[in-house]
Structure formats: C-alpha cells, structure tokens
Chains A and B, each alone.
Chain A
Amino acid sequence: MAEQKVAAYICQGCGLGDRLDTADLAKIAQKEGKIAFAKEHEFLCNADGVQLIKNDIANEAVTHVVIGACSRRAKTEAFTFEGIHVSRANLREGVIWVRPDSDEHRETTQEMAADYIRMACAEAKKVKVPEVSPERGGNKRILVVGGGMSGMTAALEASKAGYQAVIVEKSGELGGWAAKLHKRIPFNEPFQDPQETGVAEMVAAIQADSNIKVYTNAVTSKTSGAPGRFSVEISQESGPTTTEEVGAIIQATGFTTYDIAKLPELGGGKSSNVVDQAGLEALMKAANGGAIKRPSDGGEVKTVVFVQCAGQRDDTGTHLPYCSGFCCATSVKQAMYFKDANPDVDTVVLYSDLRLPGNNEDFYRNAQRKGVTFSKGKVKSVEASGNQCKVQFHDLILNDENAAIADADLVVLATGQVPNSGTNIDLFQAAEAEALSGTNPDAEAKIAELKVVSVLNLQYRQGPDMPQLKHGFTDSHFICFPYETRRTGIYAAGPVRRPMDIAQATEDATGAAMKAIQAVENAAVGRAAHPRSGDLSYPSFRKEGCTQCKRCTVECPFGAINEDENRYPQFNEERCRRCGTCMGACPVRVISFENYSIDSIGSQIKAVDMPDEFSEKPRILILACENDAYPALDMAGMNRIEYNQFVRIIPVRCLGSVNTIFITDALNSGYDGVMLMGCKHGEDYQCHFVKGSELASYRMSKVDDTLKSMNMETERVATYEVAITDIERVPKLINEYAAKIEEIGMNPFKGF
C-alpha cells in the first residue's frame, strides 16, 4: 500500500463559515493534526467541492481524507471515495446546531469544533481501508432443516430466486403438520371458509424442481463451518451418511403440540372424546368426507365444545405461559367443519379472549353466521361420564360461576405450540462448565442427554444449536430484525421462532430464504451481514500478545470465534458481525479491525485539547453507540436542542466494543467524566448486536473498583440506556451529567 497521506477539508456551508473560524480549524488540522494539508471550501458536498477532493486524491496521492462538515450520517454518497478512508468531524449536528449563536458562546463553540478536527485527524492516521478477508467461502446452496410448510416454502422461494436448496426432513414425507390438516384457515379473499392446504401441490413442485434435493428420514448429524462454507453431515435412518456443502442454513423445524395428557383436569388423556386440535384433524381425515363420529362408541356427534387456551397463557407456571396465536382461528375453522356438514350440530367455543388478527375477523363473522356459539368463559373442568363429557365453566359474560354443558359428545382442547428448538445451549454450557470443574459427576451424562435432541449439531464452541429466546423458542432479534439470529448464516423460520399459523409461517420462510440468499452473497465477497451490512473489515489479533484467556470466544454474541488446536482464538470471519465486542473484551488489547481499533479510539480520546484544572472548562467524553445513541444525538442537533459545550462525542460500533482501557485512558488524560450511551439490554433488549450493551454494562460495573483505587468518584463513569427516539432525553442527560461533574469538581489528574 502507498504511503499514508492525510488531507483535511473544512466546509463553510450550512452556516459553518459564519459560526466558526474555519481558517483556524484548517490550521489546527495541519499543525496539531500533523497532516499533509488542509483546505477550506464554501460548499464541500456540491460537485465542485467533491471534485476538489477527487483531484487531490488523483494528483496529490491523498489516501486518508478528513472532512470537517456535517455528521458521518449525512452526505455519505458525496463523501465516499473508493479505496480512500474518510474520517468525519461532526461540526454541524455535533457543534453549531447544538450551541447557541451568540458572542459569549463563540469561544467554546470554536473549541468544540477544533477538538472534533483534532479527533478526526488522529483517527485517520490510525486506520486503513479494510482489505477483503482472504478467508471466505463461495458456496451458495441453502440447507433447509425441516420439510413442513415453512421448510418447503423456504426451499421453493430459494429455488425461484435461482439458488439450490437441500431439504432435510426427519419423517418419511414432506408436509409436516400442514399435511395432517383437513383444511387450513383461509388466507385469501374473501376469508370466509376453510381452504385447501395446497400441501400436495407444493410437494409435487419440490419433486419436480431440479434445484431442490430432498432427504427424508434424515437428520443433520454434524454442522461445521461458516456462511459460504458450511459442511453438513446428513444421516439417514437406513442409509449412508452424506456430506453436503452449503452456504447458509434455514432451521424450520416447527413445533410439537402440547401434550394433552398434561391437562387431566380438562379431560386430556382421560377420555377418547377429548382431543386436541390435531386430534380433531385426524378424526376429520379418518371420516373421509363423512360425518365425524364420537370416538368412544362411534355415536352421532350432536354437541361439540371447543376449549380455548387449554394449557396456554398459564400464569401458574404449570403450563405454557404464552398465547400460540393460531388456535382461535383453528377452532373457528374446526367448528365450521361440523356446521358445514350439519347445521344442527351445536358448536360452542369457550374463550377468554378471542384473538383473530387480520382478515380472520371475517372468518369469525362467517362462523357466527353459520351459528357457531362463542362464549367468554373460563373452563374449570371437563369430566367424562359414559359417552359424553360435562364441561364446567365460569361464564364471564353472564357472570355465572356454575355454567355447564353436560352433554358434549366431543371436546376439543386448543393446546399450544412447543418449539422444536433442539438443545438448550445455556444448559449445555452450564453442564460443560460443571464437567470441566468436576463439580458434578453426572455432568457428562447430562451433556450427552442434551446433545441427543440437538437439531443442527453445530461444531461451535458455544454449543450444538442456536441460542433460545423466551420460552424455548429459537433465537430471533425479536424487536428490530425478526429473521436474524445470533448465528450468522443460520436463520430460524416458522413456529420454531415464535408461535404462528401457516400464513405467517409462509411469510416467515420467504423472509428467511431472502436472508439466507443475502448471507451467501455477502460471504462470497467478504461483506458483513446486518447491521453493519457491507462492512469489509474483520477482527484480527496479535498472536504473541494473546494470553488465551478465552474472553473473546466466550463473549462474542454470534459464536464467531472458536479455539484452534493450540487454544488460540480462531476467528471465523464470515460469522463475524463486526460489532467489536471481542475488541472490547480483550484484557490485553490484541484484537483490532483495520479501520477500528483500540488505537484509533484511544488516539481520538487523547487528541482532545485538555484545559487545565483552573480553566473552569471540564471535558466530558461520550462513547455513543452508532446505531441508536449517535443518531439520537444527531437528531437533537437537527432539532436545535442545545447541550453542554464541554462534551466530546465518539461513535462506537457497539457499546460492547468499549474496552475498559478507554475509560482509564480518558481519566488519565484529564477528562472529568465519561458517559457511555448504548441500547437497552436485558429481557426486551434493543442492542443490534444482542449482547453488546449488556456486556458493556457488566464491564462498567467492574470499573468502580478501579475508580476507587484511583481515588476517584464512581460517578465519573456513567452508563445510560438510550433509544434512537430519545431525541429530547439525550441532551437532558448530558446537561444533568455536566451539572453533576461541575458539582463533583475537576479531575485531579489533569495535566499529569
């Protein structure tokens, strides 16, 4: 690579020229930033300004450009030059728009701008334009685990887009639960009556598709590799083990119905006349077009009672705590089976809340039209006597605690979906730790037991399956990016991810197929997947400095880092999401990216001009998450909401990438306080990298001891959860913190 040559360009547009002394800024860039040259321009983002920079790149061999203008989030198209690094000093949103335009503030505003120029120059000198990782796989086939509605849809959608797919189905046939249904809930106009499932047509389409390969009676017994180069062993029940090379994986392993034998109080497992919804579909299939007969004696069915939320939405901790979402519409559909065959059959649906999202409301209305009775009530018991059942319930509309239907011929329990997620890797890791420490002699047996149910059998350090979210459902970035998981290139689709019906699963599978295609395409060219889409940088480490402490491998939220045979970290770049959590974790600071490192941040921290203790000008460092906090700060600027003139803000990829050295460096160089702004963590986390902000807050909880040992107030480091919408809150937090720092007083380490 050619020698580094840094040039700075200071914009005078958008009022910057009126508010700031740009000539002074250019001088600072050149003198203090020690760069080749600095230029001013009255309107840098117009064609003329951009051409100026392009000419310097061409004629002056400039390799690094510092732009002192608007936020790095603005004008990205104008200020992107191929092969050239660009550092942005945020003088507009970060300085003039958050400070009042008056003579008394002119000095501090100029100081703010000058510091951002110094920081941008310091950063530019420490980074390189990343080169594509040499380690990348180009396989673009997509493996789909599970051949139900979700799996079949994903494979067909991938094939339609021109990608080969491999389906691995555990049972002997494709179709999953959908194949066991008589009909499905209507999914298109006019949403009035049950519709054909269309499973046979889909199976036929798959069989006719040369792009799709199907393994039945098969499981994935071993999965290793990374996006673009997964290697999957497929074991068939009676046959050889085959190895398939694929680029991405979709886990569409669906659900199991909640066992009705666990509901004896509702007659589950006690009477053949009490069935679950799947059981009723089986009866309907067995009737083969005729009327459903009473299971116990083949008698005529005159009264059918549907019990909603059976073993679901349970707050006692005994049964499923969640709503499965599809079961109300399914009961509507099944009640119609009876009404369509014979309008004189009495069908009663006992619900606590009838949940029929979307167009299912029309379906429900049609069921009412057909005479299905819906009653709000909590079922207390179902008791079989002879060939009939007595359903006792609390009628919540008529407020009758002792309501009962004594002559139900058939009772259908609407039980929920239990995901087929595979091994719970949290339990797996705990067992592994126990085995390692020798605290539990049964740990090995427990590991084996946990492994038996594994779906993917991943050869990842973090365990054989994907992490699980709530209630055992497979990982999904629930709030922001539902298709994303913490295993790059592996996507969860359908009811394994959250409870859903066929229509939702179809949509879900289509989305997952799209994500899988993105993953293989990104992997082939070494680009990062969401949320740093397109990023070419990747982590590398200085082997001689590594102490093999394993913190990077443990803390990586995406399981990207394995250990090699010599117990050094082995980065699987295609799995990496470039959040920098490993860089933040490393106690010896040997992990870095070409364009983002301990040094590139540290130099910015140290570049700030530090006034002495008696200047009454404190300095507060803000490390802000680039996904949420930094945009919120920018928007505060756009709304001209003022905040304190003594803060200096550095965007970070994720709060997880904040190494504690940044804090000690800042305090040692005289900053009076450090604010960390990241996303909400915990149960309803909003961190783009799932665990980043949580890890940061954990690490910072340990900083207190360091502060005390330095004889400093613990308030000098503060962590905040900030959402992108906190546009008015963020300036308030800054001002409150600045007031607190003023109260505590200046950092005694200034000037040392």
Chain B
Amino acid sequence: MSEMKYHNNFLKEVEERVEEGHMVKMCMQCGVCSGSCPFGPHWAHPPQELFMMIRAGKREEVLSSDSMWMCTSCYQCIVRCPRKLPITHIMHGLAYLAKREGLAPKGQPTAEFGQMFWDNLTKDGRVNELKLSLSLYFKDGFGQGVKNAMAMQSVGMGLMKAGRLNPMEILGGHKIKDKSGFHAMLKKAREIEDARRKLA
C-alpha cells in the first residue's frame, strides 16, 4: 500500500464526490487552519494534514479517520485560510462520503447524533426536540440514559416552565401537513445528489 501512494486517484475521487472537493489541491500546506482550529490538538489529523493525505492517495486512512467528525463549524479556518479553501465545508463533505462509504468510525458520537437528528427530522418533517434529547440520552443503554436525564433535569424543567418544551410531544408531537409529499421530495433530492456525487 505504502508504495502506491502519491497518485491522484483519490484526489480525483474527492473532487468528484465531496462538496468543494476541487479546492483540496489548492492547499499550500501553510498550516494556518491547524493552528486556528480550537479542536486542533484533539484530532488525529488536522485539516492541512488530511488534505496532504488525500493527495498522497491514502483513501482508507482519510475516510476512516475521526478527524472531520470533530469539526464544530466555527469557521475560524475558512476565515484565515490564505488560499481561501472552504475547509469547514470540505470537512463535512468528507464526513458524508465516509458515512456513505461505510468507513466512518463506529460509535463516533457526532456521527451517531447526526443520524438521530436526520431520522427525527425526516420522520414527520418537524424536529421533535423532546424525543431527540431522550434518544441521545439513552443511546448508550437504559442505566446511562437515566443518569443523563437526571443530570439534565433542571434544564428540562426550566424549558418547560418557559414554554419551550412541551411534555405532550412524547405522545407523537406536531407534524407537517403533507408528509408523503415531503418524503417524495427528499427521495428525489437524494437521487439527484447521489447521481451527481456518484454515490450508490
């Protein structure tokens, strides 16, 4: 593997299949993004290194990395990049490709929560915040879920008193009017995007 690197195959794949992927080749390895990232020290690979790995053809290593899942979208890197690379967008694009390719790291919390949010939203066309919170609390089992819920109890009570959280939502919650139309729309959008990005 190590000897077949530094070819442009993976770079070309990224250009085709990742949002703003065509900008990866413009990175000049100055490292300002890595230095600016508030999460910098906590990643396996800071953005500039990830871009070099793409250019070195390290497909598996890039897509199975947890790095792009750590991005908090603070946009510090975009603001500072002297080459004007949309780094945040590329990070999310890479994460999406990794997920679709089944290479995203298992149990990565951001990846899991992303899926929960998507499922919650697409079900009825509205985000059910109560159910979303609970599914997050209970994702690691019942015992942990109770602990999580107890810890967040006062926040929940406060939200309820302020009318920001309706406990009745647990029974189903509010929905959009034309659910089947909404689902058809999502299906179509996905078809278009998959065709464009060559995603199966």
Tell me the chain A residues, 337-385 only, with Cβ under 8 Å from chain B. 346, 348, 364-365, 368-369, 371, 373-376
Contact string against A for B residues 76-108, beta-carbon threshold 8 Å, 1 for contact and 0 otherwise: 000000010000000000000000000000000
- Asked whether B7 lies within 8 Å of A368 as measured between CB atoms, the reply is no
- Asked whether A403 lies within 8 Å of B11 as measured between CB atoms, the reply is no
Asked if A404 CB lies within 8 Å of chain B CBs, one says yes
- Asked whether A404 lies within 8 Å of B26 as measured between CB atoms, the reply is no
Asked if B144 CB lies within 8 Å of chain A CBs, one says no
The answer for the CA separation of A375 and B57 in the assembled complex, in Å, is 12
- Asked whether B26 lies within 8 Å of A365 as measured between CB atoms, the reply is yes
A599 to chain B, nearest CB (A): 64
Tell me the chain B residues, 1-41 only, with Cβ under 8 Å from chain A. 2-8, 11, 25-26, 28-29
- Asked whether A398 lies within 8 Å of B26 as measured between CB atoms, the reply is no
The answer for the CA separation of A395 and B53 in the assembled complex, in Å, is 11
Q: What total of chain A residues lie within 8 Å of the partner, measured CB to CB?
A: 23
Contact string against B for A residues 384-412, beta-carbon threshold 8 Å, 1 for contact and 0 otherwise: 00000010000101101011111100000
The answer for the CA separation of A546 and B50 in the assembled complex, in Å, is 77
Asked if A164 CB lies within 8 Å of chain B CBs, one says no
Instruction: Tell which of A346, A375, A390, A397 has the most Cβ of chain B within 10 Å.
Output: A397
- Asked whether A368 lies within 8 Å of B3 as measured between CB atoms, the reply is no
A residues within 8 A CB of B49?
A: 397-398
Asked if B56 CB lies within 8 Å of chain A CBs, one says yes
Contact string against B for A residues 20-33, beta-carbon threshold 8 Å, 1 for contact and 0 otherwise: 00000000000000
- Asked whether A397 lies within 8 Å of B52 as measured between CB atoms, the reply is yes
- Asked whether B25 lies within 8 Å of A371 as measured between CB atoms, the reply is yes
The answer for the CA separation of A404 and B7 in the assembled complex, in Å, is 11
- Asked whether B2 lies within 8 Å of A404 as measured between CB atoms, the reply is yes
B50 to chain A, nearest CB (A): 10
- Asked whether A406 lies within 8 Å of B8 as measured between CB atoms, the reply is no
- Asked whether A375 lies within 8 Å of B2 as measured between CB atoms, the reply is no
Tell me the chain B residues, 45-90 only, with Cβ under 8 Å from chain A. 48-49, 52-53, 55-56, 58, 83
The answer for the CA separation of A555 and B166 in the assembled complex, in Å, is 98
Task: Please give me the residue from chain A that is nearest to B51 by CB atom.
Answer: A397
The answer for the CA separation of A624 and B146 in the assembled complex, in Å, is 88
Q: What total of chain B residues lie within 8 Å of the partner, measured CB to CB?
A: 20
The answer for the CA separation of A487 and B92 in the assembled complex, in Å, is 65
Which of B2, B11, B26, B58 lies in contact with A402, CB distance below 8 A? Answer: B2
Asked if A303 CB lies within 8 Å of chain B CBs, one says yes
B residues within 8 A CB of A365?
A: 26, 83
- Asked whether A368 lies within 8 Å of B56 as measured between CB atoms, the reply is no
- Asked whether B4 lies within 8 Å of A406 as measured between CB atoms, the reply is yes
A residues within 8 A CB of B52?
A: 375, 397-398
B residues within 8 A CB of A364?
A: 28
- Asked whether B6 lies within 8 Å of A346 as measured between CB atoms, the reply is yes
Which of A369, A400, A404, A407 lies in contact with B25, CB distance below 8 A? Answer: A369
- Asked whether B56 lies within 8 Å of A303 as measured between CB atoms, the reply is no
The answer for the CA separation of A346 and B56 in the assembled complex, in Å, is 11
Task: Please give me the residue from chain B that is nearest to A407 by CB atom.
Answer: B4
- Asked whether B6 lies within 8 Å of A368 as measured between CB atoms, the reply is no
Task: Please give me the residue from chain A that is nearest to B48 by CB atom.
Answer: A397
A residues within 8 A CB of B7?
A: 303, 346
Task: Please give me the residue from chain A that is nearest to B9 by CB atom.
Answer: A346
Tell me the chain A residues, 562-618 only, with Cβ under 8 Å from chain B. none
The answer for the CA separation of A346 and B12 in the assembled complex, in Å, is 11
A residues within 8 A CB of B25?
A: 368-369, 371, 373
The answer for the CA separation of A348 and B56 in the assembled complex, in Å, is 10
- Asked whether B5 lies within 8 Å of A368 as measured between CB atoms, the reply is no
B60 to chain A, nearest CB (A): 14
A158 to chain B, nearest CB (A): 42
A287 to chain B, nearest CB (A): 22
The answer for the CA separation of A374 and B83 in the assembled complex, in Å, is 15
Which of A369, A373, A376 lies in contact with B6, CB distance below 8 A? Answer: A373
Contact string against B for A residues 405-427, beta-carbon threshold 8 Å, 1 for contact and 0 otherwise: 11100000000000000000000
Q: List 20 A-B contacts (CB under 8 A).
A: A303-B7, A364-B28, A365-B26, A365-B83, A368-B28, A371-B8, A371-B11, A371-B25, A374-B29, A375-B6, A376-B29, A397-B29, A398-B49, A398-B52, A398-B56, A402-B2, A404-B5, A405-B6, A406-B3, A406-B4
B residues within 8 A CB of A371?
A: 8, 11, 25
If A374-B28, A400-B2 are given as contacts, then 19 extra A-B residue pairs at C-beta distance below 8 Å, sorted by A number, are A346-B7, A346-B8, A368-B26, A369-B26, A371-B25, A373-B6, A373-B8, A373-B25, A373-B55, A374-B29, A375-B55, A390-B3, A397-B48, A397-B49, A398-B56, A398-B58, A405-B3, A406-B3, A406-B4
Task: Please give me the residue from chain B that is nearest to A399 by CB atom.
Answer: B49
Q: Lowest 5 CB-CB distances: which A-B pairs, in order?
A: A406-B3, A397-B52, A405-B6, A404-B3, A373-B55
B40 to chain A, nearest CB (A): 15
A412 to chain B, nearest CB (A): 15
B81 to chain A, nearest CB (A): 13
Task: Please give me the residue from chain A that is nearest to B4 by CB atom.
Answer: A406
Instruction: Tell which of B6, B55, B56 has the most Cβ of chain A within 10 Å.
Output: B6
The answer for the CA separation of A406 and B4 in the assembled complex, in Å, is 7
B residues within 8 A CB of A405?
A: 3, 5-6
Task: Please give me the residue from chain B that is nearest to A305 by CB atom.
Answer: B6
The answer for the CA separation of A406 and B8 in the assembled complex, in Å, is 14
The answer for the CA separation of A364 and B25 in the assembled complex, in Å, is 12
A residues within 8 A CB of B11?
A: 371, 373
Task: Please give me the residue from chain A that is nearest to B3 by CB atom.
Answer: A406
B residues within 8 A CB of A375?
A: 6, 52, 55-56
The answer for the CA separation of A303 and B6 in the assembled complex, in Å, is 10
The answer for the CA separation of A374 and B25 in the assembled complex, in Å, is 9
The answer for the CA separation of A374 and B4 in the assembled complex, in Å, is 16
A514 to chain B, nearest CB (A): 38
B residues within 8 A CB of A376?
A: 29
A residues within 8 A CB of B28?
A: 364, 368, 374
A598 to chain B, nearest CB (A): 61
A residues within 8 A CB of B5?
A: 403-405
